[in-house]
């Protein structure tokens, strides 16, 4: 096997780029790197499925929910909604099935943490899923996994087969009369499926267009039934919380951002990777130390702190902390934890154009501002980058970003496209003016001059 191909099973350490091994703040990744961690036997040797046993034999469902609430865990998919509160929305005592749906459609540009979890420790996710099922009174979980994730798919399939063979999935898991099952549903390539109601539409075999709410999925989700939808990383925290208690988890982090989270750092850094950090760590430490900072001779110009849908921050953003509220106060959002770093050899207008290409392509077409706005912005960027811009285009960018935002669409995709235009214009207006008014790019000129 050529060494550039990721092994699909076997030694996960071969190209583990990011956190692994014990450290005070490694709640998720402390076992990562252990030979064979993806197998049930090794996961169990290190205490795996102890939390499920504890949950099912020593705790009532409401106790589990209380621990998750106490932990202060907030959703790691992007919105940061308190997990315990979300669990509490699932109605009790309704007849008929309820579902746990795992959002494994990781597709926010710059975000790789869910893949990192599933490839390294698939059983940690599955244990969290089963505990969530028990806590909300569901017997069936569906993992919606993005279709391109062949590696995680094979890892999860193998892990589920092991659980069936061992009787942890089935009619009497751990000899207890509480049937449990997990199925995987593979996506087919659509960013919008990361939005929870679009995901449900896709799971039901439809074009993935977000639903109007209410009703919320907790009341009427998959196939019309009460459904809990959580992100992969969110549920992967649950075994630790059950084992150690919510109060212990809440000792990590600060303010209303408790615990640790995985940040995937990519772009122009020397040591890209997925790093588990305690919430509150500064972006300077994450980008400059853990990820090694920009390449030699380059200066960091800007970074997107939470996937490309989070408004870009210029260099001063390094002193912002990863606390969810502080990122919001800085005018951006912690989002999905995908930190994209750009150095001073890249043009911001060109970067914004590439991101608008993404939003234009991924718009589901349901809401007019997003369907029309994304493509209109993209065509405007193309015109400007071809040297045909004018002051009119500055006004067009402004008009488009405004009409994409402010809740004019059913989901956040339109807003996100608006954020890209608005934030890059706010912090890097001079580059827009150069392109639109002077038909030149000083960044490109510098790069060309340096290489001459």
Partner 1 sequence: MAALSEHAIEEIRALPPRFPHIRSAVLPALDVAQDELGYLTREAMTEVAELLDLDPGYVEGVATFYTLLHLEPIGKHHFYVCTNLSCDLRGAYEICDHIKRRIGVEGFDEVSADGLFSLEEVECLGACEFAPMMRYQRRYHYDLTPEKLDALIDAARQNGGERAADPPRDAAASQKPRGRRASSRGPTKEDSAELNA
Residue of 87, 100, 106, 300 that binds partner 1 (CB under 8 A): 106
Pick between residue 47 and residue 295 the one whose CB is nearest to partner 1: 295
Site for partner 1 in 191-250 (CB under 8 A): 191, 202-208, 222-225
Pick between residue 68 and residue 192 the one whose CB is nearest to partner 1: 192
CA-based diameter of the chain, in Å?
Answer: 74
Residue of 41, 183, 406, 446 that binds partner 1 (CB under 8 A): 183
Site for partner 1 in 338-377 (CB under 8 A): 338, 340, 342-343, 346, 351, 354-355, 358, 361-362, 364
- Distance of alpha carbon 209 from the chain centroid: 19
Site for partner 1 in 111-130 (CB under 8 A): 111-112, 114-115
Neighbours of 339 (CB within 10 A): 29
Please report whether residue 8 would count as binding partner 1 according to CB under 8 A.
Answer: yes
Spatial separation of the C-alpha atoms in residues 278 and 68, rounded to whole Å: 18
* Region of 122-130, 142-150, 324-332, 370-378 interacting with partner 1 (CB under 8 A): 142-150
Rg (alpha carbons) of the chain, rounded to whole number: 22
Pick between residue 308 and residue 404 the one whose CB is nearest to partner 1: 308
* Region of 2-10, 54-62, 84-92, 387-395 interacting with partner 1 (CB under 8 A): 2-10
* Region of 149-157, 326-334, 376-384, 394-402 interacting with partner 1 (CB under 8 A): 149-157
Residue corresponding to tokens 């609430």: 69
- What is the nearest approach in angstroms of partner 1 to the Cβ of residue 149? 7
* Both structure tokens of 101: 């749906």
Of 363, 378, 350, give the one whose Cα is nearest residue 416: 363
Please report whether residue 314 would count as binding partner 1 according to CB under 8 A.
Answer: no
Spatial separation of the C-alpha atoms in residues 443 and 126, rounded to whole Å: 47
Quick check: 416 and 408 in contact, CB under 8 A? no
Counting Cα atoms < 13 Å in the Cβ hemisphere of 186 gives 11
Residue of 47, 179, 215, 395 that binds partner 1 (CB under 8 A): 179
Strand ranges inside 187-326, DSSP E: 227-231, 253-254, 257-258, 260-267, 273-278, 300-304, 313-314
- What is the nearest approach in angstroms of partner 1 to the Cβ of residue 206? 7
Please report whether residue 140 would count as binding partner 1 according to CB under 8 A.
Answer: yes
């Amino acid at each position: 096997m050529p060494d550039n191909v990721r092994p699909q099973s076997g030694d996960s350490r071969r190209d583990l780029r990011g956190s692994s091994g014990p450290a005070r703040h490694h709640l998720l990744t402390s076992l990562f790197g252990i030979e064979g961690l993806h197998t049930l036997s090794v996961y169990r040797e290190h205490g795996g499925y102890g939390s499920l046993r504890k949950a099912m034999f020593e705790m009532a469902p409401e106790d589990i929910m209380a621990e998750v609430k106490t932990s202060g865990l907030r959703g790691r998919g992007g919105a940061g909604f308190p997990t315990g509160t979300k669990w509490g929305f699932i109605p009790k005592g309704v007849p008929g099935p309820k579902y746990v749906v795992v959002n494994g459609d990781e597709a926010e540009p710059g975000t790789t943490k869910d893949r990192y979890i599933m490839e390294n420790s698939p059983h940690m996710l599955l244990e969290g899923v089963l505990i969530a099922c028990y806590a909300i009174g569901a017997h069936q979980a569906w993992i919606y996994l993005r279709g391109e994730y062949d590696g995680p798919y094979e890892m999860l399939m193998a892990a589920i087969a092991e659980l069936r063979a061992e009787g942890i999935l089935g009619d009497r898991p751990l000899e207890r009369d509480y049937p449990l099952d997990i199925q995987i549903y593979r996506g087919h390539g659509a960013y919008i499926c990361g939005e929870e109601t679009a995901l449900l539409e896709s799971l039901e075999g439809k074009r993935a267009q977000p639903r109007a709410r209410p009703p919320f999925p907790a009341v009427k989700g998959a196939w019309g039934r009460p459904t809990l939808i959580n992100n992969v990383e969110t549920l992967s925290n649950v075994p630790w919380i059950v084992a150690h208690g919510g109060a212990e988890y809440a000792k990590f982090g600060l303010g209303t951002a408790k615990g640790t989270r995985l940040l995937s750092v990519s772009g122009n850094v020397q040591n890209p990777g997925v790093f588990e950090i305690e919430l509150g760590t500064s972006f300077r430490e994450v980008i400059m130390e853990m990820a090694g900072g920009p390449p030699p001779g380059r200066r960091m110009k800007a970074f997107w702190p939470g996937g490309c849908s989070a408004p870009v921050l210029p260099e001063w953003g390094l002193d912002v902390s990863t606390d969810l509220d502080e990122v919001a106060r800085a005018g951006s959002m912690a989002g999905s934890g995908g930190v994209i770093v750009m150095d001073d050899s890249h043009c911001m207008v060109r970067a914004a154009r590439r991101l608008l290409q993404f939003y234009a392509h991924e718009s589901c077409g349901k809401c007019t501002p997003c369907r029309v706005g994304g493509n209109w912005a993209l065509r405007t960027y193309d015109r400007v980058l071809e040297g045909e811009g004018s002051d009119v285009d500055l006004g067009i960018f402004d008009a488009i970003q405004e009409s994409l935002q402010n809740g004019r669409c059913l989901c956040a995709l339109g807003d996100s496209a608006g954020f890209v235009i608005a934030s890059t214009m706010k912090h890097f207006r001079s580059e827009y003016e150069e392109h639109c008014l002077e038909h030149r790019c000083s960044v490109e000129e510098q790069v060309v001059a340096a290489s001459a």
